[in-house]
Structure 1
Amino acid sequence: MVSIIMPVYNTADYLKKTIENIINQTYKDWELICVDDESSDDSLKIIKQFEAYDNRIHLISQAHQGAGVARNNGFEISRGEYVIFLDSDDSFSINLLDVLYKNAIQTNADVVMCGCTIENNGLIKKVERPKSIPNGIFDISELDDSGFAQCGYFSWNKLVKRKLIVEYNILFQNLQSSNDVFFSCMVIYTAKRLLFVDESNLIIYKKGRDGNISSRRNPVNCYRAAEAIINRIPTDDENGIRKALYVMLVGGIYELRRTDNEELIKHFCEEIKQFVIENKLFSVNASDIQKYVASLYVNNSVQTKWWKENVIFKYELEANKEKILNELNEYKRFVLWGCGKRGKALLCFFLDNDIAIYGITDKDKSRAEQLKSELGLDTNVLDIDNIDEQTDLIIACNTELYSYLKRKNLAVDILDIERYCPLA
């Protein structure tokens, strides 16, 4: 049996469709435990209607305590051999459980993960297996720092063996946001057999919805999560601690970009700075990128808002320069698509390394014209129509744009520059 734990808070507009997605699953041996977090809309009423309709659906009500506590309470009464923690405002393919459970049984995996499709205010992004995550069965020793973080940032794409959670007493934190980071990272850290399924259509994750349990971001919570991970990992496991530091430092930048609350930002940066200094993160235990990011926290004031700039993007371009140049050497004529801040940084990188670029383009052609003028470029500003007839490679400035271009089925190769710059 698979136990589905679903925290619910004011998602009445989505909940009916979400539960119907579960009922229509091709895999039938499941139980759905909905934990209502004191919703003020019709969520509770909807759950009760489904509970009366299907005896596999169960309701728990709790005082408003957040998604972390809700997931823990749901797990406490669950019975499945495997457990998955799904969100109540997302959508799922009818074969989600079938694919994950069959892969778990066939490979005896402790954790089976999958990609997803992210919907964000009309924009769609396909998230597939990152290059840093191995194909087939693997464990923590085969993950680099980036791969560990990419596996561990959220819980809703993981089917987890109950035995693993119980044996290592892995619980969700009682935090308003980032409450699943500790749980997810620890199941990745403790699992002996991990598997990432190359499917991006099983879960449709709705990002940016106002009012959900974890919608109000607080970067300090990311720090608390990473701190708890570091405290749980044995002190002599330098590789494990380094991976947790990556979550703290780089995950912190991600959280900083998602909030404009100056008080929270200041508090978080002070916490990180103190941690970096007290724990001597400029020592040999930290990776080069961690030392660089740590120096940004220590040496830059909050007022500069350095995390909104392209300092990390530029650092990663330089760090991966040889790989990028080798890939570009395979093409005779390539075009950059995207002329915002990142496009400008990438063009400066090309100029600094004497890389001739055939053309630049953007949905807003005037931005491309303006950037060409600003940098004094000797290149073409191209129309996006029939662009695949003018080049043999398009360089996409971010993964969202890369996904968009792939869906257009252009007769040209497309390079996602974020493959070399995952932190940016």
Structure 2
Amino acid sequence: MEEIKVSVVIPVYNVEEFLNNTLSDITGQTLKEIEIICVDDGSTDTSCKIIEEWQKRDSRIQLIKQKNQYAGVARNNGLKQAHGKYVVFWDADDLFERNALEVMYTQAEQERSDICICEARKYDNAKEKYIPSDAYLKENLLPEKQTFNKFDVPDYIFNLTNNVPWNKLYLREFILKNKLEYQAIKQANDTYFTIMALFLAERITYVKDVLIAYRVNNQESLSGKASDTVFCAYDSWLYTKNRIEKYEDFNLVRFSFLNRALSGFYHALNIQTTFESYEKFYRMLIEEGFKMFGLDTCEEENIYVPWMYKDMKKMYEMEPADFLVQKSITRRVNNENNNVRRKILREKNKALNESVKNLKAEKKALQSDKKKLQEEKKKLQKEITDIKQSKAYRLGNKLMWLPRKIVKRG
């Protein structure tokens, strides 16, 4: 049996609109020694039929069916069926470069790593365009060495990437050895898995290639229905906190963890789709959430992003509606300021391009003048040579020889 280098585990739920494109990206990977494990999470559309049609064309595709238990359980069940040396957990509606697995696999093998992280970007489903993002791999927080662990970057081990599972390739043996599993919750089921993996890994490496595009503005995704599960994100962080703080090394990475959790709380608050759910989450944070994590007593210098510390303090002083209005105004002002900055930059860029264009024209004119002068010089040199070689010039030289001698002697 051919060695399976990478197992691709894909939780599938009602993604008929995107599934063909995703399976095309995955079956078309330049790394051929892979298995593709699709775990259908009780889809009610034609997702299963689409996978079955693909199975007829590609024997590497497997289909596992389960009742609706959400992506975390689907990933766990897919992992149980995996045989690859490495495993990735990809989403069924994202976009993948055809060399993604080969690039990450090669890097992981070269560095003998437990985890390989890649750069990614977003794809706006509504506007149909790609959006650059530094959320998935923060290059400014990476250590100089190519392979690292929490002891190399204790202050940023959880901040140099985020909790998404799909931009990370894992050594399967590492996952099994540490008994890592995704949580059986509707949303944020990847918090515990990713945080613990980054904490426990002895060798983490990365590639700066943008290999994956995460689809946003898809109202059918779980993140588009955050208000259905108001406290999922908080519960996932609390579950993780209660387990990771039992390790002796936790104090080493404590501030990295707290900052990552705080960022997660703000993200969860901002993606709520109803004011009722927003208010519930807001009040929970100021009444118990921040305190449970010790964030309420954190010094300002220990919070990495200044606005997060300021917002936390404001939340204790303001009603949810007032805070939301103020944040909306701030965002609008920031957007307007950004628009002004972009306009200024465009104008500066236009002026710069015009200057470059003028300089190029001047350079071309100077080169033309230089060429003309060189041709004129060459012509004059030829005329001088012709004169010197003429009989009249040679005769004149001889006739002038005697007078010059007389002048010199005189």
TM range (shorter): 0.7 to 0.9
The one-letter code sitting in structure 2 at the alignment partner of 1:160 is Y
Q: Residue 228 of structure 1: which of 232, 239, 252 is its match?
A: 239
Report the equivalent of 1:101.
105
Q: Residue 197 of structure 2: which of 187, 190, 193 is its match?
A: 187
After the TM superposition, list the runs of 4 or more consecutive aligned residues in structure 1 that deviate by more than 6 angstroms: 310-313, 344-347
Structure 2 counterpart SS, 1:217: helix
Which piece of structure 1 moves more, 125-134 or 285-294? 285-294
Paired residues of 2:149 and 2:157 also in contact (CA < 8 A)? no
Paired residues of 1:256 and 1:307 also in contact (CA < 8 A)? no
Report the equivalent of 2:399.
none
Aligned mates of 1:307, 1:108 — CA distance in 2: 50
Structure 1 counterpart SS, 2:161: helix
> Gapped runs of 5+ residues in structure 1?
314-339, 348-359, 364-379, 393-424
Residues 388-413 of structure 1, C-alpha deviations (whole Å, 9 max, x = no match)? 45999xxxxxxxxxxxxxxxxxxxxx
Which piece of structure 1 moves more, 96-105 or 226-235? 226-235
Report the equivalent of 1:149.
159
Report the equivalent of 1:276.
290
Paired residues of 1:8 and 1:43 also in contact (CA < 8 A)? yes
Aligned mates of 1:6, 1:213 — CA distance in 2: 15
Q: CA RMSD, aligned part only?
A: 3.1
CA 186–124 in structure 1, closer or farther in 2 if over 3 Å, else same: same
Matched, 1:126 2:132: yes
> Could you tell me how far 1:384 is from its partner in structure 2?
7.5
The one-letter code sitting in structure 2 at the alignment partner of 1:223 is Y
Residues 227-283 of structure 1, C-alpha deviations (whole Å, 9 max, x = no match)? 122112134522433322222212211222222322322222233221333554344
Paired residues of 2:7 and 2:35 also in contact (CA < 8 A)? yes
Paired residues of 2:225 and 2:273 also in contact (CA < 8 A)? no
Paired residues of 1:242 and 1:285 also in contact (CA < 8 A)? no
The one-letter code sitting in structure 2 at the alignment partner of 1:178 is A
Aligned mates of 2:153, 2:310 — CA distance in 1: 21
Paired residues of 2:15 and 2:92 also in contact (CA < 8 A)? yes
Q: Residue 265 of structure 2: which of 244, 252, 256 is its match?
A: 252
- The number of equivalent residue pairs is 337
Report the equivalent of 2:13.
9
Aligned mates of 2:170, 2:58 — CA distance in 1: 24
> Could you tell me how far 1:225 is from its partner in structure 2?
1.8
Paired residues of 2:11 and 2:92 also in contact (CA < 8 A)? yes
User: Which structure has the greater CA radius of gyration?
Assistant: 2
Which piece of structure 1 moves more, 60-69 or 172-181? 172-181
Q: Residue 171 of structure 2: which of 157, 161, 165 is its match?
A: 161
Matched, 1:386 2:350: yes
Structure 2 counterpart SS, 1:141: coil
Aligned mates of 1:87, 1:263 — CA distance in 2: 30
- Aligned-pair identity in percent equals 26
Structure 2 counterpart SS, 1:124: strand
Aligned mates of 2:345, 2:24 — CA distance in 1: 49
Aligned mates of 1:127, 1:382 — CA distance in 2: 21
Structure 2 counterpart SS, 1:151: coil
> Gapped runs of 5+ residues in structure 2?
357-410
Residues 334-353 of structure 1, C-alpha deviations (whole Å, 9 max, x = no match)? xxxxxx52266789xxxxxx
> Could you tell me how far 1:95 is from its partner in structure 2?
0.8
Q: Which has the higher helix share?
A: 2
Matched, 1:37 2:41: yes
Aligned mates of 1:308, 1:141 — CA distance in 2: 40
Matched, 1:212 2:212: no
CA 251–311 in structure 1, closer or farther in 2 if over 3 Å, else same: farther
Matched, 1:19 2:47: no
> Could you tell me how far 1:288 is from its partner in structure 2?
3.8
Report the equivalent of 2:372.
none
